[in-house]
């Protein structure tokens, strides 16, 4: 369905927002987000997981939602309109929107360099190089005991995100795999 038609259907409440995570993956994200206070989501799409993180985290939490929300021929990002509308309906949590690519979003122009995170969800560009940049950009700012979750990191699809997870992330001694669900891998930061 075209983005403009999908947006219209959403705004008229004839359809809900779309997501690429399964029910089981969302339940897993919810479980690990509970009580977290400083969260980052890389790749927002329609904001389904952004809202879930806002509503699951500590009531005082800040969720940084990072997505470039590229525009179409009309100069509008219909996905951005859906995401903002959907997340605005969250019953708690505060969302800070960063409309840029992941490595730039981590810069002090958006987020103070001393800010650390206790939850990072990587679900943006699934190419090997993009996931490498996300990993190298965000994991040094993850607190001890913090969680990093990677979507499309397993399942035999051969995506760059899966290859990078197998070649680099699973051998990173700073982290231990806590759980895998469908295409989601959840890791915890060791002391």
Q: How do residues 51-88 score in pLDDT, each as one tens digit? A: 999 999 999 999 999 999 999 888 999 999 999 999 99
For residue 172, the model assigns a pLDDT of: 97
Q: What is the mean pLDDT of each run of 10 residues along the chain (191 residues)?
A: 81 89 98 98 98 97 97 91 94 94 93 95 96 97 98 92 97 97 98 91
Both tokens assigned to 149: 């979750």
Residue 1: the pLDDT is 59
CATH of 3-189 among 3.40.50.2000, 3.40.50.150, 3.40.50.720, 3.90.440.10: 3.40.50.150
pLDDT recorded at residue 12: 84
Phi, psi (rounded to 5 degrees) for 155: 115, 0
> Hey, what's the torsion of the CAs at 55, 56, 62, 68, to 10 degrees?
-80
pLDDT confidence of residue 44: 98
What pLDDT does 8 receive?
81
Instruction: Provide the token pair at 46.
Output: 């329609």
Cα angle 19-154-190, degrees, rounded to a multiple of 5:
100
């Amino acid at each position: 369905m075209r983005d403009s038609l999908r947006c219209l259907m959403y705004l008229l409440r004839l359809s809900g927002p779309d997501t690429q995570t399964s029910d089981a993956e969302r339940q897993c994200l919810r479980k690990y987000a509970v009580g977290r206070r400083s969260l980052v989501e890389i790749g927002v799409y329609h904001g389904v997981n952004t809202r879930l993180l806002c509503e699951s985290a500590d009531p005082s939490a800040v969720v940084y939602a990072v997505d470039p929300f590229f525009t179409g021929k009309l100069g509008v990002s219909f996905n951005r309109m859906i995401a903002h509308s959907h997340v605005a309906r969250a019953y708690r949590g505060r969302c800070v929107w960063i409309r840029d690519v992941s490595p730039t979003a981590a810069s002090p122009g958006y987020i103070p360099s001393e800010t650390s995170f206790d939850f990072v969800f990587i679900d943006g560009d699934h190419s090997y190089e993009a996931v490498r940049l996300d990993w190298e950009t965000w994991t040094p700012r993850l607190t001890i005991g913090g969680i990093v979750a990677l979507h499309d990191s397993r399942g035999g699809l051969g995506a760059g995100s899966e290859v990078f997870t197998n070649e680099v992330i699973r051998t990173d001694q700073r982290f231990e795999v806590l759980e895998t669900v469908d295409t989601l891998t959840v890791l915890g930061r060791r002391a």
